[in-house]
């Protein structure tokens, strides 16, 4: 089993919770700690049953699979986590990076947010943080002509 953050369902509250499995295969952090530090850790059975399926990165990558950016409509494609990770667009139009999302929020995030590519997230963040440096130019629609059928031989 690889170390990393995992998303499980807490057997006590039946709510999403995040746990972190360290190199020694022990739970080193839990989203419900310290208030529940003395729990029986029954949630570990979910990790042992499907250690790879509850990895947060795998869950996020599966959610993005086949999706298109909500702004530019390009396919998100393979995720480069350390270079250009995808982001999220909230219903109010704000954007968030995955580092700003707690793992236990994922089920709610998936239901309410739209996928966003890194490029659009960067542009929208810049526009939000530095509106004085942004100049909006109207987009000019190009006229498209269609070719007429011909019987000429070339």
pLDDT in tens, 88-117: 999 998 999 887 888 888 888 999 999 999
pTM: 0.67
Percent of the chain with pLDDT over 90: 27
For tokens 């070719």, the residue is: 147
Q: Which is it for strands 16-21 and 27-30: parallel, antiparallel or unpaired?
A: antiparallel
DSSP-derived secondary structure letter, 137:
-
Q: Pick the closest to residue 28 from 51, 50, 4, 52 (CA basis).
A: 4
Q: How far apart (Å, rounded) are the C-alpha atoms in residues 8 and 16?
A: 6
Whether the link from the prior residue into 34 is cis, omega within 30° of 0, is yes
d(CA 61, CA 110): 12
Phi, psi dihedral angles at 34 (to 5 degrees): -85, -10
Query: How far apart, in whole angstroms, are the C-alpha atoms of residue 80 and residue 31?
Result: 26
- List, for residues 51-83, the tens digit of each pLDDT value: 677 788 888 889 999 999 999 999 998 888 888
């Amino acid at each position: 089993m690889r170390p990393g953050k995992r998303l499980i369902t807490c057997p006590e509250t039946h709510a999403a919770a995040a746990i972190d499995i360290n190199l020694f295969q022990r739970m080193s952090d839990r989203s419900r700690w310290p208030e529940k530090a003395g729990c029986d850790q029954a949630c570990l059975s979910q990790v042992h049953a499907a250690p790879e399926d509850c990895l947060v990165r795998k869950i996020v990558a599966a959610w993005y699979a086949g999706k298109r950016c909500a702004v530019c409509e390009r396919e998100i494609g393979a995720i480069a986590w350390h270079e250009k990770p995808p982001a999220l667009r909230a219903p109010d139009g704000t954007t968030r990076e995955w580092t700003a999302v707690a793992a236990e929020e994922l089920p709610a995030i998936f239901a309410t947010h739209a996928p966003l590519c890194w490029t659009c997230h960067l542009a929208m963040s810049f526009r939000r943080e530095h509106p004085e440096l942004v100049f909006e130019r109207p987009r000019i629609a190009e006229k498209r002509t269609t070719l007429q059928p011909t019987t000429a031989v070339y």
